[in-house]
């Protein structure tokens, strides 16, 4: 009986542990946010070509919590924690965050973000934390020589449960 209670709390414990990890990382390094585009490079319209399919990406859901018990406004939403490993040359395809806010932490390697709000790529190194929300649409590419490892915590709305885009 006790082992069942502990097992049922495992996803919550993992999510809490990730939250502490993210908070610690945020306090120990200067975070980089998705809106940080180099001076003079901001864009008002999407001017880049972008891929529509993942390439060289392993996307593993580590934990998911149904937020329905939090009230009607949360019905069907999931708090999700994922690990993404992007191989050299790998791509996380074009996606947007108007209805799916997320926090990303890069834990190994580096990865370049190509955002609809910037004319040039934005480099994210290990330790960088990126908040993804609002009118942001973007894609990512590992231009390095080693795999990039990222953890993503997001709120997945019901309409996206069957959407296998990143």
Tens digits of per-residue pLDDT, 84-135? 999 999 999 988 888 899 999 999 999 999 988 888 999 999 999 999 988 8
HSE at residue 118, side-chain half, CA atoms within 13 A, is 20
In a domain, 166, yes or no: no
User: Which three-class secondary structure state does DSSP give residue 47?
Assistant: coil
- List the CATH number of the domain containing 114: 2.60.120.10
Q: How many domains does the chain have?
A: 1
- Structural domain including 123 reads 2-160
Q: Provide Rg for the chain, Cα atoms.
A: 17
Kindly tell me if the per-residue pLDDT of 162 is higher than 60: no
Kindly tell me if the per-residue pLDDT of 151 is higher than 70: yes
Q: Which token pair is 72?
A: 């009607």
């Amino acid at each position: 009986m006790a082992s069942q209670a502990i097992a049922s709390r495992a996803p919550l414990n993992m999510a809490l542990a990730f939250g502490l990890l993210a908070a610690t990382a945020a306090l120990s390094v200067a975070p980089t946010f998705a809106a940080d585009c180099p001076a003079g490079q901001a864009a008002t319209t999407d001017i880049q070509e972008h891929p529509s399919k993942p390439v060289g990406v392993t996307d593993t859901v580590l934990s998911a919590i149904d937020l329905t018990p939090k009230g009607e406004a949360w019905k069907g939403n999931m708090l999700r924690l994922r690990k993404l490993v992007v191989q050299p040359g790998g791509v996380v395809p074009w996606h947007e965050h108007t209805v799916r806010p997320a926090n990303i932490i890069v834990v190994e390697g580096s990865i370049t973000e190509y955002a609809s709000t910037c004319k040039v790529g934005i480099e994210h190194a290990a330790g960088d934390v990126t908040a993804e929300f609002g009118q942001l649409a973007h894609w990512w590419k590992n231009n390095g020589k080693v795999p990039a490892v990222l953890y993503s915590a997001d709120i997945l709305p019901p309409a996206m449960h069957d959407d296998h885009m990143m």
